[in-house]
Amino acid sequence: MSYVLHYAPDNASLIIRLALEHRGLPYRSQLVDRAVQGQRAPTYLALNPNGLIPVLETPQGPLFETGAILLWLGDTHGGLGPGPTDPARGNYLKWLFFTANTLHPALRMMFYPDKYIGGEPAHQKALRTGLQGQIMAALDLLEVTAAARPDWLGATAPTGLDFYIAACLRWCSLYPVGAARDWFKTDRLPALMQMASHLEALPCTAALKSTEGLGPTPFTSPTYANPPHGSAT
């Protein structure tokens, strides 16, 4: 069994790549070239009609939605979070879905406000300003959770939730390009930043640095991607 990960550098696919690499699962990567709107190509839309990245092709068919892929990989292979019979399963799932359904969509709206509110700059600015507070509030909640030291967030063995949050921390530091960062208060997030630092030392992140050109500290002090193939935007 081998998987196909449809990816673009520094997109949500990096979360799935971390999970695959961490579990040592066989896969090959297939670039979705965003520079030519590859995510809108008919062949890609046949895999994900929403035109979003990533897609993971499996023997059971293509999967999309980052949280769903993480949950499926964890249930299929183990090692990415509490299993179905683990008493911690419910707590893990609620924060995994909070990240997927609350934090990640807010980031997407901030990065692409025109898709949600149109092209008027004043409207876009107002939307982004409101979202900054919402995103920081979501991170504050995740910080409280991480500071309690559960076995499924920020522990020695990383989980899919760790990978998801680390990617979100990265994107908060970088995007939108040229925007002010004074709203992103990493000093309020010591437990999450410690988790991100731990991930940077793992072999799965070393693979990510190479394949997607994310630099030596992709989560704690990120730089813009310089990938060998494709484009982040």
Quote the pTM value.
0.96
Sign of CA dihedral 67, 68, 73, 74: positive
Annotated domain spans of the chain: 89-202
| pLDDT class of 89 with cuts at 50, 70, 90 | very high
Q: 1 pLDDT exceeds 80? A: no
Residue with structure tokens 């769903």?
A: 68
| CATH code at 89-202 | 1.20.1050.10
3-state SS, residue 27? strand
CA dist 3 and 17 (Å) reads: 11
Q: How many residues does the chain have?
A: 233
Mean pLDDT of 131-146: 98
Contact 63, 72 (CB under 8 A): yes
Mean pLDDT of 102-112: 96
| Nearest one of 2, 21, 49 to 163, comparing CA atoms | 21
3-state SS, residue 86? coil
| Nearest one of 58, 44, 59, 47 to 16, comparing CA atoms | 58
Rg (CA), the chain: 17
Region of 139 on the Ramachandran plot (φ > 0 left; ψ -120 to 50 alpha; else beta): alpha
Contact 184, 136 (CB under 8 A): yes
| Predicted local confidence at residue 162, as pLDDT | 98
Question: pLDDT, tens digit, for every residue of 36-72?
Answer: 999 999 999 999 999 999 999 999 999 999 999 999 9
Mean pLDDT of 160-186: 94
* Tokens matching residue 224: 């813009």
* Tokens matching residue 117: 């509110």
Contact 89, 97 (CB under 8 A): no
- Cα atoms in the Cβ-side hemisphere of radius 13 Å centred on 87: 1
Mean pLDDT of 184-210: 96
* Tokens matching residue 81: 């979070």
| pLDDT class of 233 with cuts at 50, 70, 90 | confident
